[in-house]
Amino acid sequence: MPRERYTVISADCHAGADLLDYRPYLETKYHDDFDAWAATYVNPYEDLLADTADRNWNSERRLAELEADGIVAEVVFPNTIPPFFPSASLMAPAPSQQEYEQRWAGLRAHNRWLADFCAQAPGRRAGVAQILLNDPAEAVREIRRTKEAGLTGGILLPGAPPGSGVPELYSQTYDPLWAACEELDVPVNHHGGSASPPLGDEPAARAVFMVETTWFSHRALWHLIFGGAFRRHPGLKLVLTEQGSGWIPGVVEMLDYYHGRLVAATARATTAESRFGAGLAASMGASPGEVWRDNCFVGASFMRPHEVPMRDRIGLDKIMWGSDYPHDEGTAPYTREALRIAYAGVEPEEVAAMTGGNAARVYGFDLAALDRIAAEIGPTVEEIAEPLKEVPAGATSPAFAPGGSVRVW
């Protein structure tokens, strides 16, 4: 039977509790510290102070808005501030042992809250657990606990930018994490914006951040590849989310080039370059291209029109679309229009894979169950096939930005 509607799973959404609502999820011994911290905390994010902030934690509102947008399920990354953190928790080594312990307690509280939040919409939310990298053994314990608690979105790999104080991601220090994720079939997610070093407050800082942030996020790919994580743990899954997708073919080709060049150099011991490749082939195993094929996926979020023609080079089975709800740069409430601007003219089975099928496979959604919901609220194949002629007046997402012919590296 021909497909009539798409089952859309957003592989990039965000949620979190309202600040004081984290308290019941903290261990009791941290309650006094939390009360003191919360009494003086000033939230730095305008969207978390706005009237629409409850989209992060209001389950009924969230389901209604996602369904109105044609989305049946979501992968849920963090958004609000967990206890004891100064701001977002994507990369936050603590300056003292006490603060480190408090921040771990805060992340555990978020993960407990998230498990309850996901349980309010069974089978429709894959929550992504948060960890810190400072103590791999502690991280492994939290990975096991959150998997047992029902979080199916995997873990959020914190950034490890230069100067962070934690080992680089290629370090074998993290092998216990990769082993646990492989054993439990837990995807390792690395989200855009999570690995940039502090840039200060100069006027140019924001512009420099925009230029560099995706590159710093991409680093996780070559760190894990050249570090041999996938050789030692061939079942490991890495998902790179909200970092674009058009850069992937060129970067994988570049990594293959350096891999081949360095491995070949080891056979010519008299060359200066041979020392750079010493032990590389044995330590990393397969080539970067093979690792991408076998182990990696991209949470492409809202693919731009110039990226879609590269889908075969990226890997049609690798691409997962996301709306970035509830962020201002997300596609809501114009997701149907965003899908049209990207996928009009693409074969329906390919659209179905990128907008839902791949995410169902990676994150373990029951696609048959979601198909039944999509039969009522999903965008129609006919609708998405119609090219978008006019951008909605209220659209704020970069999915609608002009200049789509520019290739982003």
Q: List the domain boundaries for the chain.
A: 8-400
Residue 64 has pLDDT above 90, yes or no: yes
Residue 70 has pLDDT above 50, yes or no: yes
Taking domain 8-400, whether its CATH number is 3.20.20.140 is answered by yes
397 within 8 A of 334, measured Cβ to Cβ: yes
Segment 330-338 mean pLDDT: 97
Q: Give Rg (Cα) of the chain.
A: 21
Segment 294-298 mean pLDDT: 98
Q: What is the pLDDT of residues 176-214, one digit of tens each?
A: 999 999 999 999 999 988 788 888 889 899 899 888 888
- H or E segment to which residue 10 belongs: strand 8-15
* 3-class DSSP state of 204: coil
Q: What is the pLDDT of residues 246-294, one digit of tens each?
A: 999 999 999 999 999 888 887 776 777 777 777 887 788 889 999 999 9
Residue 406 has pLDDT above 70, yes or no: no
Instruction: Report pLDDT for 88.
Output: 61
Instruction: Report pLDDT for 42.
Output: 86
Weakest-pLDDT range from 79-83, 336-340, 379-383: 79-83
Instruction: Report pLDDT for 232.
Output: 97
Buried b (16+ CB within 10 A) or exposed e, 39-58: eeeeeeeebbeeeebebbbe
Enumerate the β-bridge partners of residue 104: none
- H or E segment to which residue 156 belongs: strand 155-156
| Mean pLDDT rounded to a whole number for the chain | 92
More confident residue, 16 or 274: 16
Structure tokens at 247: 């850069």
Q: Which phi and psi (to 5°) does residue 256 adopt?
A: -65, -40
Amino acid at 258: Y
Instruction: Report pLDDT for 3.
Output: 82
Can you tell me the distance from the alpha carbon of 10 to that of 27, in angstroms, rounded to the nearest whole number? 32
Q: What is the pLDDT of residues 221-239, one digit of tens each?
A: 999 999 999 999 999 999 9
Long-range (24+ apart) CB contacts under 8 A made by 41-49 are 41/81, 43/19, 43/81, 44/87, 45/81, 45/87, 47/326, 47/327, 47/328, 48/79, 48/80, 48/81
Q: What is the pLDDT of residues 115-168, one digit of tens each?
A: 999 999 999 999 999 999 989 999 999 999 999 999 999 999 998 888 888 899
Residue 305 has pLDDT above 50, yes or no: yes
Instruction: Report pLDDT for 162.
Output: 82
pTM comes to 0.94
105 within 8 A of 27, measured Cβ to Cβ: yes
